[in-house]
Amino acid sequence: MFTIGIDLGTTTCSMYYFNNNKPTVIPNSEFNKTTPSYIGIKENGEILVGDPALNEQAKNPNGTVYMFKRFIGRKFSEVINKDKLMYKIVEHTNGDSWVQLHNKKYSPIELSSILLKKLVNDAEKFLQGKVTKCVITVPAYFNDAQRQATKEAGQLAGLEVLRIVNEPTAACLANDVVKGDNKTVAVYDLGGGTFDISILEINDGVVEVLSTYGDTTLGGEDATIALSNYVINQFKEQTGIDVSSDPVAKYKLKEYVEKAKLVLDTRPETKLSIPYFQFNKETNTPIHLDMTLSQTLLNDILKTILDKTFKYCDEALVKADIKLSDVTDLILAGGPTKNPFIKETVDNWFKCRSHHNIDPVDAVGMGASIQAGILGGDVKNLMLLDVLPIALGIDTAGGIFVPIIEGNATIPCSKSQVFSTNEDNQESVDVMVYQGERKLSSHNIFLGKVKLDGITKAPKGIPQIQVTFKADSNGIIDVYAEDLASKNKVNTKITPNSGLSKDEIEKIKEDAKSKEELDGKFIEKKGLQTKVRDMIYQADKENLTEFKQKVQDDNIFKKYFIEDSSTEETIDRDLVVMNTFVTSCEENLKSSIEKNKKGEQEDSSNSTAEANEAVEVEEENN
């Protein structure tokens, strides 16, 4: 049984386990240390996760989803910039943000669980053992609803989630700075889809988070979007063609722009060339995209993003009650911080040289595995005291929000306040729970309610109702309400409305279990397609032109091995046809190889005979 740390990132994920007193990376089935947070669902129901989904996004524009972590635990009304995405965000019946792929709707919790299942399966193959427990990281500024939804996704994937850890805190645990003393550390975590800044204090092996702030909708992906929009506008000016509503073109452009961004990290400019980007229907000719992108352009885009992050940094310093000059160490986390311009700009803002003993891409996942080691007793002399980033409280008369637990309170913690009724002889009260920093409840995030009955009848303002909030180490809340006179009490764990209901979770589990056999059939089909491709490759290498041509011209090959037309209803029949075809190809290939060898031997014998005959003629002439 293994416990692993998972960096469930907005754009990429990674896995580590604590082994021989250090975090060890767990590669995925593609032998990469990171897995793209992409899911592709084909019209026939086949699910692609990670690299396969990323590679087929241009072919499957209506079935590919990415950055869905930005919507987990969030209401449809809370989501901004929906139009910037290349898939559709829809409102579920309970007001949640869901994703529509083809004609089916998916919860971000369900999508996250699909991604987690892929990670766990890959980990089990690598570790050669069962993975049952994990520590999952989340952006520090995730609210209770988002944390609860992330935990539900882990449970849906069959995992026991031991702890939800803030990403900047995990990055700090992975860094050598934790070995020091009397340190005030700023962790600047700019990921693909989110930004967090945390201020921590390290003393005698205790890592205490003083404050955290951030934006769950700001990250490096915004630079990709801005750069893509620039190219789209330039292409429109050059050709008059607007591809902003063409999902295939936008997915293809996104792929090329991401590669161009990496080049511009170190070069002043790069060529962006996409052959056959569009087609001119009037002249019946292809239109190629060809333009130059500059590092200056990228840096201007990045500066806009960085300026936004520095406002959050200022706020985090205020919340921690320290000055910028008090920061002794700076840690960078997240892939975008590897960009030299970003690193230099952030270093200059903090007036502090950032640590670079850990790759920013690895830091969060490594820290998650260290936290798993702490919980398992494998890591000694290190204690983590994290914080609840956003205030939690209740709605009171007049719609006023009263915090019970203030923002940036160290967790776990328990806080209580006493309230009263606002009507005479009131026998029940609804405790409406919100999370946020605004004074009016309606401006904050509604998490749920607790109903307390059996209040002793009395004039308004007389009953004493004690409300207690308990936040666990994951930042997930239990709420208690008690009438101090009658001793009637009620308590509940706040399960946010933006999560899946138990029935929905069970349905997803049942669907997954019922389709295990079907998934196996699609995997078998992929294996047969690979076998035929390998045979064609072998024929090409051995110059078996006739065999290769015969296979590629066959209608069965075209229908079942090139096109992906299988459905749940046809897969059994298709496998019968494909297996028969593969068996026939194997026999024909073997026969072709033997025939080819025999021909080579006959050619060799004929050549030898002709040579001997020539020698005999030569001897007679002499």
Residues with active-site annotation: 7, 69, 167, 189
Angle at 334 between CA 332 and CA 338, to 5 degrees: 70
* Entry field: residues in the chain: 622
CA 535 from centre of chain: 36
How far is the C-alpha of 306 from the C-alpha of 322, rounded, in Å? 21
> Which DSSP letter does residue 570 get?
T
Find tokens 């700076």 and name the residue: 330
Q: What six digits make up the tokens of 140?
A: 């520090």
Hey, what amino acid is at 610?
A: E
- In angstroms, rounded to a whole number, what is the distance separating the alpha carbons of residues 207 and 172? 9
How would DSSP label each residue in 331-398? EEESGGGGSHHHHHHHHHHHTSPEE-SS-HHHHHHHHHHHHHHHHTT-S-S-EEEEEE-S-EEEEEGG
Place of tokens 């040579």: 611
- 3-state SS class at 134: strand
Show the tokens assigned to 529: 């397609």
Return the H-helix or E-strand segment holding 616.
helix 571-621
Is-contact 3 162, C-beta < 8 A? yes
250: nearest Cα among 108, 66, 11, 44: 66
Nearest to 368 by CA among 136, 200, 152, 199: 136
